[in-house]
Structure 1
Amino acid sequence: MSATVDVTTWYLEQTSAADRVPAREPEEAAALRVERAEVPSPEFSRFLYTAVGGDTTWVDRLPWTRAQWRDFLDRPGVETWVAHHRGTPAGFIELDGASGAAEGTVEISYFGLLPAFRGRGLGGHLLSLGTARAWDLADRWEGHRPTTRVWVHTCSRDGAHARANYERRGFRVYRTETEQEPDVPTPGPWPGA
Structure 2
Amino acid sequence: MTFPDGYVDIPPGKVAAVVTSLEMLAPPVLPPDPVADGAIRRVAQPDLDWYRDLYARVGSEWLWSQRLRMSDAELAATIRPAGVEIYTLEHAGGDEALLELDFRKKTDCELVLFGVTSGLIGTSAGRLLMNHALRRAWAQPLTRLWVHTCSFDHPRALAFYQRSGFRPYRRQIEIAPDPRLDGTLPRDVAAHVPVITPR
Q: Structure 2: which amino acid aligns with 1:9?
A: V
Structural mapping, 1:61-140, within 5 Å: 61-98=67-104, 100-101=105-106, 104-136=107-139, 138=140
| Structure 1 residue 37 displacement after superposition | 0.7
Q: Structure 2: which amino acid aligns with 1:168?
A: R
Query: What CA distance in whole angstroms lies between the structure 2 residues aligned with 1:91 and 1:130?
Result: 12
Hey, what does 1:163 align to over in structure 2? 158
RMSD: 2.5
Q: Could you tell me whether the CA contact under 8 Å between 1:58 and 1:186 is conserved in 2?
A: no
Q: Could you tell me whether the CA contact under 8 Å between 1:33 and 1:83 is conserved in 2?
A: yes
Q: Could you tell me whether the CA contact under 8 Å between 1:94 and 1:111 is conserved in 2?
A: yes
Overall identity of the aligned pairs, in %: 33
| Structure 1 residue 46 displacement after superposition | 1.5
Q: What secondary structure sits across from 1:61 in the alignment?
A: helix
Query: What CA distance in whole angstroms lies between the structure 1 residues aligned with 2:64 and 2:13?
Result: 18
Query: What CA distance in whole angstroms lies between the structure 1 residues aligned with 2:146 and 2:87?
Result: 17
- Of 173-182 and 110-119, deviating more is 173-182
Hey, what does 1:151 align to over in structure 2? 146
Q: TM-score, normalised by structure 1?
A: 0.81
| Structure 1 residue 25 displacement after superposition | 3.2
Hey, what does 1:14 align to over in structure 2? 24
Query: What CA distance in whole angstroms lies between the structure 1 residues aligned with 2:14 and 2:187?
Result: 22
Larger Rg, first or second structure (1 or 2): 2
Give the one of 168, 174, 177 matched to 1:173. 168
**CA offsets, 1:59-88, max 9 Å, x none?**
111111111121122211100111112322
| Structure 1 residue 163 displacement after superposition | 0.9
Q: Structure 2: which amino acid aligns with 1:172?
A: R
Change (3 A) 1:188 1:156: farther
Query: What CA distance in whole angstroms lies between the structure 2 residues aligned with 1:23 and 1:186?
Result: 42
Unaligned runs of 5+ in 2: 1-10, 189-199
Q: TM-score, normalised by structure 2?
A: 0.79
Q: Could you tell me whether the CA contact under 8 Å between 1:37 and 1:80 is conserved in 2?
A: yes
Unaligned runs of 5+ in 1: 139-145
Matched residues, number: 178
Q: Could you tell me whether the CA contact under 8 Å between 1:26 and 1:120 is conserved in 2?
A: no
